[in-house]
Structure 1
Amino acid sequence: MFAGALHANISTVPDELYNALKLDRSKATPKETYDAVVKRYKDPAQGAGPGSMAKYWEPIPYGIYLDPATFYKPPTTMKEIASRKECVECHSDESPVWVQAWKRSTHANLDKVRNLKVEDPLYYKKEKLEEVEGNLRSLGKLGADEKLKEVGCIDCHVEVNAKKKADHTKDLIMPTADVCGTCHLREFVERESERDTMIFPNGQWPAGRPSHALDYAANVETTVWAAMPQREVAEGCSMCHTNQNKCDNCHTRHEFSAAESRKPEACATCHSGVDHNNWEAYSMSKHGKMVTMLGDKWNWDVPLKDAFAKGGQNAPTCASCHMEYEGEYTHNLMRKVRWANYPFVPGIAENISSEWSEKRLDSWVVTCTQCHSERFARSYLELMDKGTLSGLAKYQEAHEVVQKLYNEGMLTGQKTNRPAPPAPEKPGFGQFTQLFWSKGNNPASIELKVLEMAENDLAKMHVGLAHVNPGGWTYTEGWGPMNRAYVEIQDEHTKLREMAALQARVNKLEASKTSLLDLNSTSEKISLGGLGGGMLLAGTLALIGWRKRKQNEA
């Protein structure tokens, strides 16, 4: 496509990116496209780097690999200046798994790609190689008639097709997404277009979020992540939130297998757990079980667009649903997002019937009708929406109860033992911080419970619905745990209210100097209700009995 072309005009990249970068898609060359995308990609004002709260944290040694563009420096202990051949020879001893994986990769066998026959399922890689060489020629990294010999250590860890030898102490880099984009421009620009298509109409989320293109920015701009002194714990978030920085979360080093990245397991490490259990919900659905039972018979080498027609695939994978948009498969996974995983975010539910959301729902119908009828698809998507709204209503009722207690200063220890969170977090009610930071009675147990009800249980209920896992929104996850939390919140609410009423009565009696033990007093009529009052009354009567017995003994 690019070998003789004067422009990039990548058909799978949406107009929104070209418009945002002020590029004429009919005229922009691969170099012009790459330069414009990389300029934004590296701009701190557009999400690059350590973010606005960098003064509150420093990277731990491992952290330099999570944002290498910002923090990585070449090692000072390795003095070697190595050629391409010497890289392979040395690392065959030092880190043999790297070399074994690379030797299996397409990168190491470009002549094999050039010799592929049209009937081979990998034949599409021949066209891909021509596209890559066209990108490199436009960037001035490959001569007009030059063929790319291989993609070896130096190409990724120093510079593509530029240096014959690498000085470990000066030249080495950890490849970032823009380095991969030098060759794989299409995939890089598709991924970067998530910034432009993930725009909620009323600012329910910041522009370009949630997305893989800005997931590290979302991470470092989270106050509790910046505030936590336990940096090793905090970096657990970063290890998934690095798709913005690198490509090896999905395409693992050093084989970078497309077939591997198409399998659902490639998504499982990050898309799992208590707040986005996509893997668990999918793998327990009939879709996921069909992959488990039948996937070994499918041809994972064919491109996604041919998976159903030529690959024998007869159930959806993560990639076949989320990378598809109206018949095309791209690295922009956000063009159909409507709920954004977290239904409790203000404005999300109200937006679900908007024209913006309905257009995206129609795109989901296109996806689903690869296997189902349109009526079936629309009926299930309606079930998903209404089921999610039911869970949201349950949470909102509980949230209102607990927030009212907070507003009245009635949460446990709220007035006596509620330390402020560390900077840059601010004191407040039911904050995301409180899932990871606690001190004294901050948060109160009932406060944490309603927070988890939203961040964990409601999110999992929606994910169960979205991934067609009945247990994932009824008994096992979702509604069942939400119902339990609701009951516990209401129970604690009643106890707190009764204790407050009892305390008010005691304070009133003390103010009038009326003794609780003076049952003959007519100055105040005592009425003690509820469990707490009953216990106090029983204790009072027992004390009176003890005093009478002592008087009789005397």
Structure 2
Amino acid sequence: MKGLIARYSIAAVVTVLGIAASLGLRAAPTEAAQKSKCISCHEKVTPGVVTQFLSGKMGKTLDCSTCHGSDHQSEKDVAKVKLPTPETCAQCHEKRVKEYREGKHALAWVSMKAMPMINHQPSAVGGGDLKGCSACHKVGEKPMADLTRYGTGACDSCHTRHTFSVKEAQDPRACRTCHMGFDHPQWEMWQTSKHGTIWEIEPTTGRAPTCQTCHMPDGNHGVMTAWGFLALRVPEDDKEWWDNRVTILKAIGVLDEKGQPTERFDAVKAAKIARLTKEDFNKERKKMIDVCSKCHSKSYAEANLKAGDDIIREVDKIFADSIRTVKGLYDDGILKKPAGWKYAPDLLQFYEAKSAAEQELYLIFLEYRQRAFQGAFHANPDYMHWYGWAKVKEAAARIKEDAERLRAEAKKH
């Protein structure tokens, strides 16, 4: 019996090593074996990195050179270090990388670069220095020209270096660095909802859904939502709602004055920021209903998601009316289109807006409206109402008041 077990163990080891060899992977050193040059050197240079790497599952089977290459041999040739990409991860995790590329996380870098506002910011604020927008949007795939020392692997945004832990990425707290704050406080919404409260009380029972439960069912990395980041979809059967949405789409430069698609429409399509067919919307909605129905009845799930849709419709009435108020100021020559702007008002310029009324419009667009519909879908009534709906109403009142002031001043001149 012992001989059989020994032969089986040897065969298993040979099989594992054979698979690793076929993938071009190098075995990590064991205590009994000689350490690789990478490990021996970096134990002195970056001991924390080595400790993290060897504590993780990958550190048991791979060497640093698997992901970083072997061209770098000393402190003098650090520039030769290979920067990991999703292709690097796909050597072992082909299925998950394929799923990731079908979802919106893979397009995060593209969507950031598409924002006109980003062109006005210092690099440290919005560009590539990982202190502002890029620090979260680095989860997306990037062209080789944009690869820098950090944030090049995309997968390591959730499976952080150098343990690359699956357990860490399955914890909802792994999502909160990016999904919090001004324009998308999903973490705060979920954490203070009944779902989040139950999870904090019972973090291991599975009774409460986490971010991953709803947005990555069965570990699927193709993260996508029905409404998209900006709660915009095309087309709409409700005529009043569609008219309001056309107004919104014009204000973000996706449709021109005649209602025809612009170059930005192509960018929105490429970045999957909105669902552009009923089929695409219904596909994602069905996925969410299926997830909710594991704990709730299907009718309950449908009713709650429909209530979220209704919130968007009601907010869009106020939002579109505010846009028309500001657009009227441009049409009447009271506000002048800023140099270099193709559209006015242009909501994708964000806080680069040039008037108080437009600053309020920007806040409706990126903060208050976001919180209203996201609060609804994340089962957080306070965020939906007081941080969202109420703030939309307040800002709309200030926009009307400012427009009246500007018109009165214009008459004097």
Query: TM-score surpassing 0.5?
Result: yes
Tell me how far apart the structure 1 counterparts of residues 333 and 293 of structure 2 sit (CA, whole Å): 53
Letter in 1 for 2:179: H
Query: 2:351 matched to 1:443?
Result: no
Structure 2 residue corresponding to 1:496, chosen from 406, 409, 412:
406
| Residue-by-residue CA offset, 1:316-357 (whole Å, 9 max, x unaligned) | 111111012xxx4311112xx221121357757757993542
How far the C-alpha of 1:494 sits from its partner, in A, is: 2.4
Tell me how far apart the structure 2 counterparts of residues 499 and 172 of structure 1 sit (CA, whole Å): 62
SS at structure 2 position matched to 1:239: helix
Letter in 2 for 1:432: L
| Residue-by-residue CA offset, 1:372-412 (whole Å, 9 max, x unaligned) | 1112111111111101211111111111111111211223x
Other-structure match for 1:428: 344
Query: 2:65 matched to 1:154?
Result: yes
How far the C-alpha of 1:499 sits from its partner, in A, is: 3.5
Q: 1:84–1:176: structure 2 CA closer, same or farther, 3 Å change rule?
A: farther
Letter in 2 for 1:340: G
Other-structure match for 2:315: 391
Tell me how far apart the structure 1 counterparts of residues 396 and 115 of structure 2 sit (CA, whole Å): 28
Matches within 5 A, 1:332-347: 332-334=222-224, 337-343=225-231
Tell me how far apart the structure 1 counterparts of residues 109 and 116 of structure 2 sit (CA, whole Å): 13
Tell me how far apart the structure 1 counterparts of residues 355 and 285 of structure 2 sit (CA, whole Å): 39
How far the C-alpha of 1:84 sits from its partner, in A, is: 5.2
Structure 2 residue corresponding to 1:181, chosen from 57, 73, 90:
90
Q: 1:282–1:443: structure 2 CA closer, same or farther, 3 Å change rule?
A: same
Matches within 5 A, 1:444-523: 444-475=355-386, 477-501=387-411, 503=412
Q: Check the 8 A contact 1:344/1:392 in 2, yes or no.
A: no
Letter in 1 for 2:44: D
Q: 1:395–1:232: structure 2 CA closer, same or farther, 3 Å change rule?
A: same
SS at structure 2 position matched to 1:89: helix
Matches within 5 A, 1:293-372: 293-295=201-203, 298=204, 312-324=205-217, 328-334=218-224, 337-343=225-231, 350=242, 354-372=278-296
Tell me how far apart the structure 2 counterparts of residues 345 and 408 of structure 1 sit (CA, whole Å): 30
Query: 2:313 matched to 1:410?
Result: no
Tell me how far apart the structure 1 counterparts of residues 175 and 347 of structure 2 sit (CA, whole Å): 28
Structure 2 residue corresponding to 1:234, chosen from 126, 137, 148:
126
TM-score when normalising by structure 1: 0.55
Tell me how far apart the structure 2 counterparts of residues 108 and 481 of structure 1 sit (CA, whole Å): 50
Q: Check the 8 A contact 2:234/2:276 in 1, yes or no.
A: no
Tell me how far apart the structure 1 counterparts of residues 160 and 361 of structure 2 sit (CA, whole Å): 38
Letter in 1 for 2:82: I
Q: Check the 8 A contact 1:460/1:473 in 2, yes or no.
A: yes
Q: Check the 8 A contact 1:430/1:451 in 2, yes or no.
A: no
Other-structure match for 1:114: none
Root-mean-square deviation over aligned CA pairs:
2.8
How far the C-alpha of 1:464 sits from its partner, in A, is: 0.6
How far the C-alpha of 1:463 sits from its partner, in A, is: 0.9
How far the C-alpha of 1:171 sits from its partner, in A, is: 4.1
Tell me how far apart the structure 2 counterparts of residues 290 and 100 of structure 1 sit (CA, whole Å): 34
The gaps in structure 2 that reach 5 residues or longer are 1-13, 16-21, 24-33, 142-152, 243-274
How far the C-alpha of 1:102 sits from its partner, in A, is: 1.1
Q: Check the 8 A contact 1:291/1:317 in 2, yes or no.
A: yes
SS at structure 2 position matched to 1:108: helix
| Residue-by-residue CA offset, 1:458-486 (whole Å, 9 max, x unaligned) | 112111111111011101x1101111101
SS at structure 2 position matched to 1:243: coil
Q: 1:428–1:353: structure 2 CA closer, same or farther, 3 Å change rule?
A: closer
Q: Check the 8 A contact 1:352/1:358 in 2, yes or no.
A: no
SS at structure 2 position matched to 1:399: helix
From the CA coordinates, give the structure whose radius of gyration is larger.
1
SS at structure 1 position matched to 2:137: coil
Once structures 1 and 2 are overlaid, which stretch shifts more, 169-178 or 278-287?
169-178
How far the C-alpha of 1:444 sits from its partner, in A, is: 0.6
SS at structure 2 position matched to 1:248: helix
Structure 2 residue corresponding to 1:287, chosen from 176, 179, 195:
195
Aligned length, in residue pairs = 330
Q: Check the 8 A contact 1:341/1:462 in 2, yes or no.
A: no
Letter in 1 for 2:188: E
Tell me how far apart the structure 2 counterparts of residues 92 and 380 of structure 1 sit (CA, whole Å): 54
How far the C-alpha of 1:226 sits from its partner, in A, is: 3.1
Letter in 2 for 1:99: V
Other-structure match for 2:140: 244
Tell me how far apart the structure 1 counterparts of residues 138 and 285 of structure 2 sit (CA, whole Å): 28
Q: Check the 8 A contact 1:192/1:213 in 2, yes or no.
A: yes
Q: Check the 8 A contact 2:315/2:369 in 1, yes or no.
A: yes
SS at structure 2 position matched to 1:343: coil
SS at structure 2 position matched to 1:315: coil
SS at structure 1 position matched to 2:88: helix
Other-structure match for 1:401: 325
How far the C-alpha of 1:359 sits from its partner, in A, is: 3.7
Structure with more helix by fraction: 2
Q: 1:357–1:193: structure 2 CA closer, same or farther, 3 Å change rule?
A: closer
Tell me how far apart the structure 2 counterparts of residues 92 and 182 of structure 1 sit (CA, whole Å): 26
Q: Check the 8 A contact 1:388/1:465 in 2, yes or no.
A: no
How far the C-alpha of 1:285 sits from its partner, in A, is: 0.9
Other-structure match for 1:101: 52
Other-structure match for 1:376: 300
TM-score when normalising by structure 2: 0.73
Other-structure match for 2:150: none
The gaps in structure 1 that reach 5 residues or longer are 5-29, 32-82, 110-149, 195-210, 299-311, 508-554
Q: Check the 8 A contact 1:420/1:427 in 2, yes or no.
A: no
Q: 1:367–1:427: structure 2 CA closer, same or farther, 3 Å change rule?
A: closer
